[in-house]
């Protein structure tokens, strides 16, 4: 069946699937490190690329390939690459597309380690980085240098929920021959398709909404065209950031319900955001679906829904944040996001506790900022849980 002609939900279920000779309904887990050649000629043909097949699981494996093909179809890309984590995808992309003396421009408020690995490791190899507020396209234009090779966008960004106009940013970048990478973890292809909007590479932490069940860590890169795909694939294979077949099986299972999960979570997220916006102990709420979000119009233009991630600021600052953390009962007090279970975290006292107050503020992480990942529980339970925790402040 040619799944490319099917609708998004049908692709979620069927794209890339490999049924074995027993008629398995799902792709089996090919839990093997290596694949026996039928003859020395067969081995030689596989290595020379004259015949399609499998050699070694770091290079390729049917279960992993099923996931890669599914993701590529969902993102309207040329081909996909599955990796051991979202960070493996991030560093593989940087390694493949940057050389000594090159310059990268990145959204300032990206997921901390996506910025950190540039500052701590890639600068060691002579890569220059600029971190700018990419929601303002002029900032991107101003940061472009003759050696700029990559524009790295995260939209919505983690944890500020700021948006960048992918179409406009890509136009500016492409005028200068700059490759555009978009981290689509928060939206997933169900809500936003960066390659259709002009980006060259889509990146995912599969750990989040795509897998959706908080039981694996994984990452993916999907390229729009063969040339960049080949560079990414070669780097992944050489650096060894491949996914494991069992991990791939778990993500294939999880992603089949992506639209059902995201749909329910985002319906609840809208109600939770409205509840928070009207709460006297909350000074502001950042959710792309609220008219008060400074880029609500952009959200309507480039996303087909507003997602399940909310950030809000408590009037009581740091102490109020810790009180809420210690008093929620339904939401799990945990990092990560995008699972069926609601998760809450307070960046200032938790993941960003080691960052200076000035550093946190420069990245938009204020003392009273709380990030909430809305799960698929009953929305009344989610709101009541938050309400009673806010009452304790």
Pairing of the two strands 369-373 and 343-345: antiparallel
Q: Are 393 and 344 in contact (CB under 8 A)?
A: no
CA dihedral 122, 124, 125, 126 (to 10 degrees): 90
Residue 381 annotated in active site: no
Exactly one of 65, 68, 154, 165 binds ligand LCS (CB under 6 A); that residue is 154
Residue 205 found at the interface with ligand LCS (CB under 6 A): yes
Tell how far CA 2 is from the center of its chain.
Answer: 27
Instruction: Restricting to residues 101-130, name those near ligand LCS by CB under 6 A.
Output: 111, 114
Residue 183 annotated in active site: yes
Residue 71 found at the interface with ligand LCS (CB under 6 A): no
Non-local CB neighbours of 95 within 8 Å, separated by 6+ positions: 235, 239
C-alpha–C-alpha distance, residues 219 and 84, integer Å: 6
With contacts defined by CB under 6 A, name the span among 1-9, 11-19, 82-90, 140-148 that binds ligand LCS. Answer: 82-90
For ligand LCS, what does the binding mask look like between residues 321 and 340, x meaning CB under 6 A?
--------------xxx---
C-alpha–C-alpha distance, residues 384 and 299, integer Å: 28
Exactly one of 62, 80, 86, 375 binds ligand LCS (CB under 6 A); that residue is 86
C-alpha–C-alpha distance, residues 386 and 31, integer Å: 43
With contacts defined by CB under 6 A, name the span among 85-93, 188-196, 315-323, 385-393 that binds ligand LCS. Answer: 85-93
Any idea which residue has 């179409």 for tokens?
Answer: 167
For ligand LCS, what does the binding mask look like between residues 344 and 363, x meaning CB under 6 A?
--------------------
Instruction: Restricting to residues 177-196, name those near ligand LCS by CB under 6 A.
Output: 183, 185
Q: Which of 111, 229, 249, 287 is catalytic?
A: 111
Order across the sheet with 282-286: list the strands.
282-286, 309-314, 369-373, 343-345, 332-333
Count of residues in contact with ligand LCS, rule CB under 6 A:
16
Minimum distance, C-beta of residue 236 to ligand LCS, in the bound complex (Å): 14
Q: Are 317 and 367 in contact (CB under 8 A)?
A: yes
Residue 241 found at the interface with ligand LCS (CB under 6 A): no
Residues that bind ligand LCS (CB under 6 A): 85-87, 111, 114, 154, 158, 183, 185, 205, 207, 217, 219, 335-337
Active site residues: 58, 111, 183, 208
């Amino acid at each position: 069946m040619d799944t490319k002609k099917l609708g998004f939900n049908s692709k979620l279920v069927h794209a890339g699937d490999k049924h074995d000779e027993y008629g398995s309904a799902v792709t089996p887990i090919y839990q093997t490190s290596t694949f026996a050649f039928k003859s020395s000629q067969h081995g030689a043909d596989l290595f020379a690329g004259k015949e399609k097949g499998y050699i070694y699981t770091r290079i390729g494996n049917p279960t992993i390939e099923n996931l890669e093909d599914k993701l590529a179809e969902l993102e309207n890309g040329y081909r996909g690459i599955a990796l051991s984590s979202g960070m493996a995808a991030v560093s593989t992309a940087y390694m493949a597309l940057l050389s000594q003396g090159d310059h990268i421009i990145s959204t300032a408020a990206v997921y901390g380690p996506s910025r950190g690995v540039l500052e701590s490791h890639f600068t060691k190899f002579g890569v220059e980085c600029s971190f700018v507020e990419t929601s303002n396209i002029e900032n991107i234009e101003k940061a472009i240098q003759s050696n700029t090779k990559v524009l790295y966008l995260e939209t919505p960004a983690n944890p500020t929920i700021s948006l960048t106009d992918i179409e406009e940013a890509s136009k500016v970048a492409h005028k200068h021959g700059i490759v555009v990478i978009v981290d689509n973890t928060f939206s997933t292809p169900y809500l936003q398709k960066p390659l259709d909007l002009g980006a060259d590479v889509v990146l995912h932490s599969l750990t989040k909404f795509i897998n959706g069940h908080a039981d694996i860590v994984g990452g993916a890169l999907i390229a729009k065209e063969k040339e960049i795909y080949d560079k990414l694939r070669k780097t992944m294979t050489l650096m060894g950031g491949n996914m494991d077949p069992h991990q791939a099986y778990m993500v294939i299972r999880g992603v089949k319900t992506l639209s059902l999960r995201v749909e329910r979570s985002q319906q609840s997220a809208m109600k939770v955001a409205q509840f928070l916006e009207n709460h006297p102990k909350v000074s502001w709420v950042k959710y792309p679906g609220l008219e008060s979000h400074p880029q609500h119009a952009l959200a309507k233009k480039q996303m087909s829904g507003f997602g399940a991630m909310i950030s809000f600021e408590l009037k009581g600052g740091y102490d109020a944040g810790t009180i809420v953390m210690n008093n929620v009962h339904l939401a799990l007090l945990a990092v990560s996001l995008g699972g069926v279970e609601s998760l809450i975290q307070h960046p200032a006292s938790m993941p960003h506790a080691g960052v200076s107050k000035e550093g946190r503020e420069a990245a938009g992480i204020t003392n009273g900022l709380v990030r909430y990942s809305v799960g698929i529980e009953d929305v009344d339970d989610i709101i009541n849980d938050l309400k009673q925790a806010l009452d304790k402040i």
